[in-house]
Structure 1
Amino acid sequence: MLTEVTATRYVTPLREGGSLPGIVEADDLGTYVMKFTGAGQGRKTLVAEVVCGELARRLRLRVPELVTIQLDPVIGLSEPDQEVQELLKASGGLNLGMDYLPGSLGFDPLAYEVDAAEAGRVVWFDALINNVDRSWRNPNMLVWHGDLWLIDHGATMIWHHNWPGAAASAAKPYNASDHALAPFGPDVAAAAAELAPLITEELLTEVTALVPDEWLVDEPGFETTDALRRAYVEPLLARAATIHERIVLDAPAATKPSRAPGWLTDHIKPWPHPTRNSQDSSQDPQKDADR
């Protein structure tokens, strides 16, 4: 199960996302980006974050550590922002936290180079989970200590918003033409050969078991949370075998000028970090040392 912590202080909202996530401190002395059950997208966003984030981790893709966070709405009483107060009041109980990566930079494709193998793994993974939110318009990737980290998987597995049509939805192709890593010539075939065999029923069952029951209860059409977990397993298992054959990589829909100034792009290309190497950081982000 995911580590559970308790929020001790609400620090500040992050207004880049539509769900108004916020930075919080917790009783383990950690700092997290918190996503709330009371946000407009609801608990299914948190379910998708857990299933896809933990699946990515098991495929050795870099994702900040996920935890569940107990929230007492009283910590929002002193917040001057009415919208934040209402969100905290609506989110009492168990929410989701993502380890805050201090000093990380938003990914810019003209400032950070990704090799074809890594690009292929990310594109293949996004095709598997039908991630519609990793385009050049909104990459949802960070560069931290010279490595690429994947964040924000709430807009994935669109079929879980309409379970009767899940099989048909999961059988559709994945258009990666506007994917943030499309310009790097992603080697999707190699990624499929490496990653598809890892997507087993046992692995998906393990990942879906990490979703708290309270985020799964009362789903129409499912008598138990275990039945709903099984519904998450089936489309992903079927999709893994052949999705590489249905990834579309055409010319992008529009040009993609860099928004990063020259002084920044000169400094965020990959570099050897003195205390960390890429292979180790995919498994252990050393969060306690960096907080």
Structure 2
Amino acid sequence: MLKEVTATRYITPLREGGSLPGLVEADDLGTYVLKFTGAGQGRKTLVAEVVCAELARRLGLRVPGLAAVGVDPVLGLGEGDEQVQELLRSSAGANLGMEFLSGALGFDPLAFPVDAEEAGRVVWFDALVNNVDRSWRNPNLLRWRGELWLIDHGATMIWHHNWPGATASAARPYDASDHALAPFAPDVAAAAAQLAPRVTEDLLAEVTAQVPDVWLTGEPGFGAPDELRRAYARPLLERAAAVHERITGIEGTT
């Protein structure tokens, strides 16, 4: 399970995204970018964030640390923004916090070249989780301390919005022509050889175990949270072996 902390101060909203995440301080003295259960995208976005970030971390990609951040609705009583007040009121309990990388810069492909090996690992990973939100328009990549960091994985694993069609959806190709790292000649074949064997049933069980039960309870068609965890793992396990063969839009992959 994710480490658990409690928000002690709401600092400011971050208005770059539609879900209005906020910057908060917590009782572990850490600063977190907080994504709320009460936001319009709902808890499935938080589940996707956890599964993808924890999987990426275990595959050697850089992602901010995560925490389940407890929110007391009274935290928003002093906020002047009514939208923020409502968001805090509707998000009592565990929300998702991502460690704030102070001083990080948004990824600029003109200023920060990426080698083919690293680009290949990121593109392969995004194909695995079907990330449709890593385009040159919105890279969701940061440069921090001279290295590339991955953020914002809420728009992944689209099959969890329609579980009966999950198998068919997970088998679809991945169009990487618009990917932020496409210009860097990503070596997805090398990435697949390195990373695919590491995506095992045991690894995915470890990853999905990080998701708090409260975000998995009550999903139509599923019983206990562990049943839903296995449903999240299954398409990823099936997809890992050959997803590199279904990446299109990059020279050398078709």
Contact preservation (8 Å) 2:185, 2:250: no
- 8 Å CA contact retained: 2:205, 2:233: yes
> What one-letter code is carried by the residue in structure 1 that aligns with 2:195?
L
Distance in 2 of aligned mates of 1:75 and 1:37: 15
1:111-190 matches, within 5 Å, as: 111-190=111-190
**Counterparts of 2:216 and 2:3, CA distance in 1:** 18
| 1:282 alignment partner in structure 2 | none
Q: Describe the SS at the equivalent of 2:8.
A: strand
Q: 2:123 and 2:209 mapped to 1: Cα distance?
A: 25
Name the structure 2 match of 1:269: none
Q: What is the percentage of aligned positions where both structures have the same residue?
A: 76
Aligned-partner Cα distance in 2 for 1:142–1:83 = 27
TM-score, normalised with respect to structure 2: 0.98
Structure 1 runs not aligned, ≥5 long:
252-291
1:250 Cα deviation after fit:
4.7
1:239 paired to 2:239: yes
Measure, in 1, the Cα distance between the counterparts of 2:107 and 2:250.
22
Whether 1:43 aligns to 2:15 is no
Q: 1:153 & 1:223 partners in 2: Cα distance? A: 25
**1:255 aligned residue:** none
Task: Write out per-residue CA displacement over residues 260-291 of structure 1, whole angstroms, 9 at most, x where no aligned residue.
Answer: xxxxxxxxxxxxxxxxxxxxxxxxxxxxxxxx
Matched ranges for 1:16-55 at <5 A: 16-55=16-55
Q: How many pairs are equivalent?
A: 251
The AA in structure 1 aligned to 2:104 is S
How far apart in 1 are the matches of 2:190 and 2:249?
15
Q: Aligned partner of 2:26: which letter?
A: A
Deviations, residues 157-196 of structure 1 (Å, cap 9, x unaligned): 0000000000000000000000000000000000000000
The alignment partner of 1:38 has SS state of: coil
Instruction: Name the Cα RMSD after superposition.
Output: 0.7
Rounded to whole Å, the distance in 2 between the matches of 1:90 and 1:248 is 41
Amino acid at match of 1:181: L
Give secondary structure in 2 for the equivalent of 1:34.
strand
- Matched with 2:105 is 105
Larger Rg: 1
Q: Which residue does the alignment assign to 1:200?
A: 200
Name the SS for the 1:121 alignment partner: helix
Residue segments in structure 2 that go unaligned for 5+ positions in a row: none
Moved more, 45-54 or 222-231: 222-231
Q: Normalised by the size of structure 1, how large is the TM-score? A: 0.85
SS in 1 for 2:241: helix
Tell me the equivalent position of 1:276.
Answer: none
User: Deviation string for 1:132-168 (max 9, x for gaps)?
Assistant: 0000010000000110000000000000000000000
